[in-house]
Copies of this chain bind each other. A is one copy, B any other.
Amino acid sequence: MAYGLARRELSPRVPLRPGEGERDHLTSLEGLAALSLDALSSVAYGPEAIVLGLVAAGTGALTATLPITLVITFLLAVLVVSYTQVIAVHPDGGGAYAVSKKDLGAKVSLLAAASLVVDYVLTVAVSLAAGTDALASAFPALAGHKLVICLIGLAVLTAVNLRGVTDSARVLMLPTALFIAAIGGVIVVGLLRAHPAAVVGTAQSHPAHEALGILLVLKAFSSGCSALTGVEAIANAVPTFRTPRVQRAQRTELMLGAILALLLIGLAFLIHRDHVAPRGQVTVLAQLTAGSFGTGPAYYATNLLVTLALLLAANTSFGGLPVLMSLLARDNRLPHLFGLRAERPVYRYGVVALALLAALLLTAVDASTHRLIPLFAIGVFIGFTLSQLGLVRHWATERPAHWKPRALINGTGALLTTVATVILLTTKFLHGAWVVVVAIPLMMLLFARIQRYYAEVGRELELGRTPGPPALRERSLVIVPLGEVSKLARHAVSTALAFGGDVVAVAVHSDPDRARALQEAWQRWNPGVRLDIIDSPHRSLVQPIVEYVERAAGDGRQVAVLIPEVEPRHRRYEILQNQRGLLLAHILRSRTDVVVCMLPYRLSV
């Protein structure tokens, strides 16, 4: 999933900022540390998903865990090799959306975009849910409050990402290294022990609800595929590597594949040997940890490390989805506001959108990892398939030397991930995958509809054509609404006069005496500008001005309304000022075509 570190690459023309030279780029090992957390943290929920799938056929069926894991590892190997070729062909990175737009056309890229959005949202949800599971394994008292913990974690990630996080990949190195060491330790120590250090598995035997048929195996396989999510991260981030980029990135990809494969097989072997079965509120990984390290401090430390790794994996989506949404906005496929960065270099609307979607999803499934897994891998595997298909198309079009074996590798990868996607969809459809099946086309429709709207606007504004020369118009009439003769009035009239057109002041009064007093005060002041006083028997102050302005603009003359605004020095006084001006501005803007100008006047109180 990780576009997290690929921000810069997704917009490759952005020049590096000061201090962003080659020295800041990653070696292979650094790249591994920085970019693999998303994929590696999948070991926290992937093996567990297999076990949970198989146990429906009773505890005996758990023997199928190891062979299924081996099949998944084979798929991993094909994917990794296929992705080394993606790295070579797309050294600018760019991810499934950019690549499929280039190689497979605009329509297909909509599918890529929609599945990526699903993928990012699910990465956040699954990682937070699995992280909470790990935390609750160490501290059982938390088990009853998983949703709340997830939402707190999500709120923290959102707040951090709204403030803007450092792009530095190096922050992730230590957690990654510790995570690999911890899980590797669980496996190595487990293999060395004759018997688990703590009770593993459960006293209760799981009765068989169904026979261990091919369907059940396929279900367990498709659940286990969630362990493969994240292996595309390195291919998306090639430009963050030090020269020679492609070689370093490929080496990193292979290392990631090897480590992930070892962890998956090692964990599956321990599950197989120790007959680990699902147990209440303790995850399979936590059971294995207890089996290797006992339930002392090392157990707590490992669970906390797993939680941290999953939290950081969730964070990669916050680096990725907002950037993807900004790209979609630039392609007119999402509202332009997702491309907006104001004071901080943060796509805040994308961050908020991701947070809301993830919160919705977590709440809908009550923070259950188990219920999220069926939705999870589909989006990722659609991305896998599209990336590899794009490469096949690339080889077939470009036909460089040795293109055929290369196309074969990517073709095999595409075929396998297609098969996996079909298995995922068919076996998990009723378990939640239908949500994704409904959501992806709806999103594609939305993107297309937005694109059509912007195209229509573009035609209407004649974008790309040279417009006629500026219209020669009569001087503007500047209307200044005023309440009384004061320094504010002086400021407003002076400003209006400096525009150079005609100026007229206008006031509304429901009380003839006050109207007369105002007119007299105006004549005493004598600013050289006419004051029109409108009588408003209904005491409405805004409506009469709107009508006055409409009359003035009625003969086709360009009208600007200059609304003076008193700005208090302290924010808490804002409620005391300007409401009338803001209301007038709002109504003028929604009902008329006049220019509405706000003139600030700063107070010292």
Interface residues of A (CB under 8 A from B): 11, 13-15, 17, 335-337, 340-343, 345, 450, 453-454, 456-457, 460-476, 484-490, 493-495, 497-501, 510-511, 513, 521, 524-529, 537-543, 558, 560, 562, 565-566, 568, 573, 575-577, 579-580, 583, 585, 587, 589, 592-593, 595-600, 602-605
Residues in chain B near residue A463, CB distance under 8 A:
484, 486
- Residue pair B501, A498 in contact (C-beta under 8 Å): yes
- Asked whether, in the complex, the Cβ of B538 is within 8 Å of the Cβ of A345, the reply is yes
* B541 pairs with A341, CB closer than 8 A: yes
Chain B residues within 8 Å of A456, by CB: 605
B337 lies within 8 A of A460 (CB): no
B-chain residues with CB within 8 Å of residue A537 when the two chains form the complex: 14-15, 17
Question: Besides A453-B605, A589-B600, 14 other CB < 8 A contacts?
Answer: A14-B537, A340-B583, A343-B540, A345-B538, A345-B540, A460-B487, A460-B605, A462-B487, A465-B486, A467-B489, A471-B490, A473-B497, A476-B499, A565-B589
A20 to B340 CA separation, bound complex (whole angstroms) = 55
* 30 examples of A-B residue contacts, CB within 8 angstroms: A14-B510, A15-B537, A337-B575, A340-B579, A341-B539, A342-B583, A342-B587, A343-B587, A345-B538, A450-B576, A453-B576, A457-B568, A460-B604, A460-B605, A467-B490, A469-B490, A469-B526, A470-B493, A470-B494, A470-B529, A471-B494, A473-B494, A473-B495, A473-B497, A475-B500, A476-B499, A499-B499, A589-B600, A595-B598, A596-B597
Instruction: Determine how close the nearest CB of chain B comes to the CB of A604; give it in whole angstroms.
Output: 6
Closest residue of chain B to A542 (Cβ to Cβ) is B342
CB distance from A53 to the nearest CB of B (A): 42
Cβ–Cβ < 8 Å partners of A576 in chain B: 335-336, 450, 453-454
Closest to A452 in B: B605
- Chain B residues contacting A529 (CB-CB under 8 Å) are 470
Residues of B within 8 A of A525 (CB): 466-467, 469
Q: Are B566 and A457 in contact (CB under 8 A)?
A: yes
Asked whether, in the complex, the Cβ of B461 is within 8 Å of the Cβ of A474, the reply is no
A467's partner among B465, B485, B562, B602 (CB-CB below 8 A) is B485
Q: Find the B residue at minimum CB distance from A490.
A: B467
**A386 to B493, alpha carbons, bound, how many Å?**
46
Docked-complex contact A598 and B596, CB < 8 angstroms: yes
CB distance from A583 to the nearest CB of B (A): 6
Which chain B positions have C-beta within 8 A of A17? 537-538
**A540 engages B341 (CB within 8 Å):** yes
Chain B's closest residue to A455 (CB) is B605
Q: Which of B464, B499, B511 interacts with A500 by CB under 8 Å? A: B499
Q: In the complex, A470→B495 CA distance in Å?
A: 9
- Contact partners of A592 in chain B: CB under 8 A: 600
